[in-house]
Amino acid sequence: MKQLRIYISKLLIVLWCLMPLASHAGAGEDYEEANTLLLAARACLAIYSDRTGSLAYEYLEQEGWEIQPFIADGDIDDARFLIAKKEPADGGQPLYILAIAGTETLKNVKTNLTLGQVYFSGRTPEEFAANAALKHMPDTVPKVHHGFYKYVETAFQAKAATKDDSTPRLLSELLLENKDRKVYLTGHSLGGAAATLAGARLLSLGVQPEQIEVITFGAPAVGNQAFVEQFAPVLPVTRVVIQGDPVTGILQGLSGYEQFGREILWNSREVTHKGQHAMVGYLDAAIKEYYDKRHQAEQTGLLTLPVKLAAAGAPSVYVSPARNDLPKELQPEFWYMQQAIWDEYRRVLPGYRLAAAVPESVMRDQAAAQGCNLLIVPEISAHKLKTRKNTYYVTLDQTVYDTATGSILYMTSFSTSTDNLTPLGALIHNIRGTTADNGKWLIAPSD
């Protein structure tokens, strides 16, 4: 009995030691997944030509993605999608994203539901086309939504180029030629359903499951039970759903449709109420999930954010925590806005140092003591428009001081409405505009 107690005690000690390691590993994996989901959400939004889409497109390009947008006439609707490619810094295989646009409104979703199902099977494009044309197929064979299938047909005609070969080729060809290449297939709403079909088709053409990752946002079901039975065991699908999104379950109300894949359920934290299905709401949630998971990884010591080294002779910059002048209802946004500001400074201000939350006069002394030439003080504010429901103007003011004299070198202010952005999205737009003016002040003050 004594030996048994000793054995149990040792076992408990081992398990206790392993628990923090498992927790730490989980935080790291959660951060990596959140980073991937944010990338996919930005790609989904970058397809659209409105202001939010243009901003997402610009941010992807700034992060090194080469983007080829496509708009093609389809039998049902214009198919909008993009292929993005990024060459890794270590010289490895390029990474691809195929993002497919979806329909934003519930009305359009219902309209496309009248199109019925087609037989989904084949090992070549010709076989897929021939099988889809067959009529009166039984429900025991894989069948999918006709409209989604048409979207996929159009997207599969798009071609991309590699770094070593400028001749554009089909995405399926690029993946089949090199088993180390990988593609993220993503989309919002109907585009997410089409992305799932694109993954199933790539597998049918011979692409390996480890080369594919499907990520959908607010996507309805794709096909019947036979389709799910065939592809659920082999196709990696992650379905991101904001709680209350009406589109994700609308097709299950009809006979012949089932969802599959791993579901990630998010609560909407978007305060201006864009709706549970809007892609800007999904992006807002993705950004917040990313910052939450990144913070957890930092707290466990698994992640240290890099700071670029300043070039010789460049001014050293001290950055103040942002002043918070947001109204009460937007206070939950402030922490995320602060993270976004620091990220942008990290991107454009090599060698910057982050100040502690102390009075501004003390901060200038601290900056000078650490050899910093410049002090940046950002301030976030917002006011609600009386004439438009749930609409704010979010403002970011930035003041740049000469630490030696305390004089103001430069002031700038950017304001953005939340007409088609969330408050966090509006702030991110502001900080990008603010740092675009760096050339006007990012010089060492004269003695």
pLDDT digits 0-9 by tens, 386-402 = 888 889 999 999 999 99
CB 271 within 8 A of CB 423: yes
Cα 402 → chain centroid: 37
The terminus-to-terminus CA distance of the chain in angstroms comes to: 80
What's the rounded mean pLDDT across residues 261-277? 84
CB 202 within 8 A of CB 175: yes
Q: What is the mean pLDDT of the chain?
A: 83
CA atoms of 143 and 446, how far apart (whole Å): 72
**C-alpha to C-alpha distances, 191 to 63, 149, 384, nearest whole angstrom:** 24, 11, 34
Q: What is the pTM of this model?
A: 0.87
Q: What is the pLDDT of residues 50-83, one digit of tens each?
A: 778 888 998 899 889 999 887 765 555 556 788 8
**C-alpha to C-alpha distances, 6 to 18, 39, 301, 364, 416, nearest whole angstrom:** 19, 50, 33, 60, 65
CA atoms of 104 and 111, how far apart (whole Å): 12
DSSP 395: E
User: What is the CA angle 58-414-55, rounded to 5?
Assistant: 15
418, β-bridge pairs: none
Residue 435, helix vs strand vs coil: helix
pLDDT at 447 over 50: no
What's the rounded mean pLDDT across residues 14-36? 67
> Residue 28 is inside which H or E element, if any?
helix 2-46
Grade residue 8 by pLDDT with cuts at 50, 70 and 90. very low
DSSP 223: B
Q: What's the pLDDT score for residue 10?
A: 44
Q: What's the pLDDT score for residue 152?
A: 80
Measured in degrees and rounded to the nearest 5, phi and psi for residue 161 equal: -115, 155
Amino acid, res. 192: G
CB 195 within 8 A of CB 187: yes
Residue 238: closest CA among 22, 23, 38, 28: 38
Q: What's the pLDDT score for residue 5?
A: 53
Side-chain half-sphere CA neighbours of 208 within 13 A: 10
What's the rounded mean pLDDT across residues 245-259? 78
**C-alpha to C-alpha distances, 101 to 64, 189, 286, 301, 328, nearest whole angstrom:** 22, 8, 18, 38, 35
Q: What's the pLDDT score for residue 151?
A: 74
Residue 69, helix vs strand vs coil: strand
Tokens coding 9 = 């005690």
Amino acid, res. 436: A
Tokens 């991309």 found at: 160
CB 409 within 8 A of CB 392: no
Lowest mean pLDDT, pick from 7-16, 239-248, 365-374 = 7-16
